[in-house]
Structure 1
Amino acid sequence: MIVSTGIDLIEIHRIKDAVKKHSGFLDKILTAEEKKQYQERGGKAETIAGIFAAKEAVSKVLGTGIGKVGWHDIVVLKNAEGGPSITLKSKALSVAGEKGINHIHISITHTKELAMAYAIGENTSLKEGV
């Protein structure tokens, strides 16, 4: 059963500017695993923007926003099929458990200017009534 949803939209140039201006930006936003995948994929700004938007969307699913849940508590990696997947750690995992969320679906897209992510928090053990 769907428990909650979240969406985020970010201008890619804002992420590109942040990476240029702040040497620690990547380390603040990305885990070591995410940084490795980002570098393997060519280090494109739209990749970071997509991850950024995904983390924001997931934080909205959790109802916390970024702050109560940290950037490194939400991990966005490519799965075996090449699509994005979410892993929750620490505070994010705890909040998800409190809300009855045991799976998060994520979709990420971008144009030249914008990156967007949509997340769905689900409790797979509950069935929706018809």
Structure 2
Amino acid sequence: MRLYHGIDIVNVDRLRETMDRSAAFVEDIFTQEEQRYCLSHRDPYVHFAGRFAAKEAFLKAIGSGFTAIGIFRRIEISVMPSGRPALRLNGWLDNLMRRLNASGASVTISHTPEYAVSSVILLGG
């Protein structure tokens, strides 16, 4: 059994500035469902920051420095009925997980008004 781990921290104000400067950034990084979820909160920026950190943490867990256009939208952070975040992968990232024999993923997200942090742990064969 192999364990893959990634962690990332995001400065909420920095992400807010980037999002305010470029509407395309939001479309390039976040799925429609992620946007709906984040915008449903009083301060959507901390939730966007948490999801961005989770996507970066996943890429670190798989040992990737990918910066390909569209890669972030292939990683979706959804919400379980319990409120726990969950990782959903699309396209070739889902195939990559199968090649790693990854049988499960654990995602955690925490945030303050200033920072969001995420940890992703993958279990592989």
Q: Same fold (TM over 0.5)?
A: yes
2:117 maps to 1:97: no
CA RMSD of aligned residues (A): 1.7
2:58 aligns with: 58
Is the CA contact 1:77–1:85 (under 8 Å) kept in the aligned structure 2?
A: yes
Q: Is the 8 A contact 2:7 2:120 kept in 1?
A: yes
Change (3 A) 1:43 1:90: farther
Alpha carbons of structure 1 residues 2 and 79: separation in structure 2 relative to 1, 3 Å: farther
Query: What CA distance in whole angstroms lies between the structure 1 residues aligned with 2:44 and 2:78?
Result: 15
- Once the two structures are superposed, residues 23-51 of structure 1 have per-residue CA deviations (whole angstroms, 9 ceiling, x without a partner) of 11111111111111112224521110000
Runs of 4+ that moved beyond 4 A:
none
User: Which structure 2 residues correspond to residues 1-130 of structure 1 after superposition, within 5 A?
Assistant: 1-42=1-42, 44-68=44-68, 70-123=71-124
Shift of 1:2: 4.5
Task: Please give the alpha-carbon distance, in whole angstroms, between the structure 2 residues aligned to 1:94 and 1:65.
Answer: 17
Instruction: Report the alpha carbon displacement of residue 80 of structure 1 after superposing the two structures with TM.
Output: 0.8
Gaps of 5+ in 2: none
Conserved 8 A contact 1:7-1:60: yes
Q: Helix, strand or coil for the counterpart of 1:24?
A: helix
Normalised to the residue count of structure 2, the TM-score between the two structures is 0.90
Answer whether contact 1:74 1:88 (CA < 8 A) is retained. Answer: yes
**Distance (whole Å) between structure 1 residues aligned to residue 107 and residue 76 of structure 2:** 11
What is the total number of aligned residue pairs between the two structures? Answer: 124
Q: Secondary structure at the match of 1:106?
A: strand
Contact 1:3 1:100 (C-alpha < 8 Å) held by counterparts:
no
